[in-house]
Chain A
Amino acid sequence: MTADFATMLSAVFPEIGLVVLMVVVLGLDLLWRDERVRRLGWITAAGCLFLVVLSLVFALPPAEPLLIWGGMLRLDAAGFVFRIVFLLGAALTALFSLGQDDLQKHGEYYGLMLVSTLGMSLMASAADLIMLYLAIELTSIPLYVLAGFRFRDDKSVEAGIKYLLFGAMTSAVMLYGLSLLYGFSGTTQIAELAEQIDRHSVPVSLLVISLVLVLVGFGFKVSAVPFHFWAPDVYEGAPTPVAGYLSTASKAAGFAVLMRVILTGFWAVTPIWMDLIAGLAIVSMTVGNLLALTQTNIKRLLAYSSIAQAGYILVGVAAGTSFGMSGAVYYLMAYLLTNLVAFGVVSVVGQRVGSDDLSAYAGLSRRAPAVALILLISMLSLGGIPPFAGFVGKVLVFAAAVEAGRWWLALIGVINSIVALYYYLIVLKSAYLLRSEDEQKPLQLMAGWRVALLVCVTGVLVLGVVIAPWFEWAGKAGWALSIY
Chain B
Amino acid sequence: MTPVMVVFGLLGVVVILTALGMLLSRNAIYSALFLVLNFATVAVLYIILGAPFISLVQITVYAGSIMVMFLFVIMLLGAERLPGSDRLRRQRWIAAILGLVFVAQVILFIFFRGQLTAPVGTPPATLGSPQAVGTTLFTTYALPFEVTGAILVVATVGAILLTRGAALPYSPIRKEEK
Contacts from A to B (Cβ < 8 Å): 12, 19, 26, 29, 32-35, 37, 69-73, 101-102, 105-106, 108, 111-112, 115, 118-119, 122, 128, 130-131, 134-135, 137-138, 141-142, 144-145, 148, 151-152, 160, 169, 173, 180, 203, 205-206, 209, 212-213, 216, 226, 229
Contact = CB atoms under 8 A, between A and B. Distances in A.
A130 B93 contact: no
Interface in B127-143: 139-143
Contacts of A229: 91, 93
Contact of B141 (A70, A137, A216): A70
B115 interface: yes
A396 B162 CA distance: 43
5 contacts: A19-B150, A105-B170, A128-B144, A145-B161, A203-B115
Nearest to B151: A138
Given A118-B150, A142-B154, A142-B158, A209 B142 contact: no
Contact of A112 (B91, B96, B154): B154
Interface of B: 91, 93-94, 96-97, 100-101, 104, 107-108, 111, 115, 139-144, 147-148, 150-151, 153-155, 157-158, 161-162, 165-166, 169-173, 176
Contacts, number: 108
Contacts of B100: 212
A131 B144 contact: yes
| Residue of A29, A151, A152, A226 most packed against chain B (CB within 10 A) | A151
Contacts of A130: 141, 144
B27 to A, nearest CB: 21
Nearest to B175: A33
10 smallest A-B Cβ distances: which pairs? A145-B158, A70-B140, A151-B165, A69-B143, A209-B104, A151-B166, A115-B154, A72-B143, A33-B172, A134-B147
A115 B161 CA distance: 15
A102 B101 contact: no
A70 B158 contact: no
Contact of A34 (B91, B111, B170, B173): B173
B168 to A, nearest CB: 10
Given A72-B144, A119-B150, 7 more contacts: A72-B143, A108-B157, A108-B158, A111-B154, A151-B162, A151-B165, A173-B97
